[in-house]
Amino acid sequence: MPVSENFLDLGGQTALVTGASSGIGAGIALLLGRAGANVVVNYRKSKEGADAVVSELSERGCTATAIQADVSKEEDVVRLFEETRAAFGTIHVLIANAGVQQDAPAHEMSLDQWRKVLDVNLTGQFLCCREAIREFRRRGMVPETCPALGKIVSISSVHQFIPWAGRVNYAASKGGIMLMMQSLAQEYAHEKIRVNGIAPGAIKTAINKESWEDPKAEKDLLGLIPYGRVGEPDDIAKAALWLASDASDYVTGETIVVDGGMALYPAFREGG
Ligand code: BGC
């Protein structure tokens, strides 16, 4: 078991967070860094965003570096892991977070819009999981650092089980993520690789700005959230830290829903 008495302590471990220049990914990178992990802040476009996350961690005395890569491109993902190894030697935690939305009614959705979302959200997570598993197996078990060979946390959505009109590409990608996560968990548990998911509900980030920026839109959104507030990236980060840490050492193939009750069919409180 790890040397530390604090099971949320990630000291001596390296975490790679994809899509970490803003939103949920940035929140997770900051919290894992504060828990002692060396953090790789992956970004595709926003170097400024990634650098700001790295600076905030450095100011707190944490170790972090930013690495550019488009997770939907195989050669980028291979390079991302090579650069991570060059910086920190290996990785212990992958947070597969990078994701996009491109909404359109199904009858108007272009093949490009379909492909873009599937390529980033689903294929991107597959490529990152594959490289992480290769790296965990190459490194081999180091029980003094971590009781698992490696840990993967796949950031999904409540739309892995709630259908979503006008976003057939997004819902399909998230449903795919759920069974990919569970299949990987089943495939690698005997090697002591844990694979889990988080299904966020509505979290205040750029991806859903139009649903909370304007007060009328936020009021409508709150109608779907029994807990009475829109989530913050930190709500997801706290669940990610637990799944990434050795406090959850006996948990694999599980999804934690972090949604303020959105998935509880809130309309049934009054009706049905
Ligand atoms: C989507 C958000 C949405 C939330 C709840 C997330 O996965 O990216 O746009 O607000 O699900 O519907």
Domains plus CATH for the chain?
6-206+232-258 (3.40.50.720)
Q: How many helices and strands, by DSSP H and E, does the chain display?
A: 8, 7
Instruction: List the residue whose alpha carbon is closest to atom 10 of ligand 1.
Output: 202
Give me the pLDDT at residue 2, please: 46
Q: Which of 206, 196, 180 is nearest to 247 (CA)?
A: 196
Which atom of ligand 1 sits closest to the CA of residue 211?
Answer: 10
CA of 208 to the centre of ligand 1 (A): 6
Contact 92, 151 (CB under 8 A): yes
Give the global pTM: 0.97
Instruction: List the residue whose alpha carbon is closest to atom 12 of ligand 1.
Output: 202
Q: What is the pLDDT along the chain (272 residues), one digit of tens a residue?
A: 444 668 899 999 999 999 999 999 999 999 999 999 999 999 999 999 999 999 999 999 999 999 999 999 999 999 999 999 999 999 999 999 999 999 999 999 999 999 999 999 999 999 999 999 999 999 999 999 999 999 999 999 999 999 999 999 999 999 999 999 999 999 999 999 999 999 999 999 999 999 999 999 999 999 999 999 999 999 999 999 999 999 999 999 999 999 999 999 999 988 88
CA of 204 to the centre of ligand 1 (A): 9
The residues assigned a catalytic role are 170
Q: Residue ranges of the alpha helices (H) in the chain?
A: 23-34, 47-59, 74-88, 111-117, 124-139, 168-188, 215-222, 233-244
Whether the CB of 101 sits within 6 Å of ligand 1: yes
Give me the pLDDT at residue 121, please: 98
CA of 40 to the centre of ligand 1 (A): 25
User: What is the rounded CA–CA span in Å between residue 100 and residue 208?
Assistant: 10
